[in-house]
Homo-oligomer: A and B are copies of this chain.
């Protein structure tokens, strides 16, 4: 990696951490520049605008999610074990400080048309597609019934993860993790 690329990657790591708790609107180029010991103009040279930085953060989070959740999850055996592996890894990703950045940004960006919202919607569509495709394979493998609707399963998995996030992080429900697993297990049982 050349120096410019390494700097860009370091800025994006930090910006993604900040966005997880403060949102992408809360990303201050001034603060980022100070933290990274760069000038504001140096930071602008990497991203051009606050909006471009927001899009880059969403893309960076998507790459991290693919590397840490999707790619290793897809190595699990086809069918139900693979769906469970994706779920488990997504839970682990959401249990880190700041939680799942996609959950954090969904509510922030849903009413703000623009490139950052488009990038997030596209990342979520891809995630739903991975879950639906994995469900379809579970039907092919006869782990799930043929009348299971793969997109409905993806929709419900997203909901379980969102409930998990709110229960653990906002309501501080000590049983959040157990409730999350029970809801997912019930979805699997219903699909078999």
Contacts and interface: CB of A to CB of B under 8 A. Distances in A.
Interface of A: 20-21, 23, 25-26, 98-99, 103-112, 117, 120-121, 124-125, 128, 149, 151-152, 155-156, 158-167, 169-173, 175, 179, 182-183, 186, 190
24 contacts: A20-B111, A23-B23, A23-B108, A25-B25, A98-B111, A104-B107, A104-B110, A106-B165, A107-B107, A107-B108, A109-B170, A110-B169, A121-B170, A125-B171, A149-B182, A151-B175, A152-B182, A155-B163, A156-B160, A156-B186, A158-B166, A159-B159, A159-B160, A159-B161
Given A26-B25, A103-B107, A179-B152, A163 B158 contact: yes
What copy number does this chain have within its complex?
2
Contacts of A110: 99, 104, 165-166, 169-170
A166 B152 CA distance: 14
Given A25-B26, A99-B111, A149-B182, 20 more contacts: A23-B25, A25-B25, A104-B110, A105-B107, A110-B166, A111-B169, A124-B170, A128-B171, A151-B175, A152-B182, A155-B179, A156-B159, A156-B163, A156-B186, A158-B162, A158-B167, A159-B159, A159-B164, A159-B183, A162-B162
A118 to B, nearest CB: 10
A171 B25 contact: no
Contacts of A149: 182
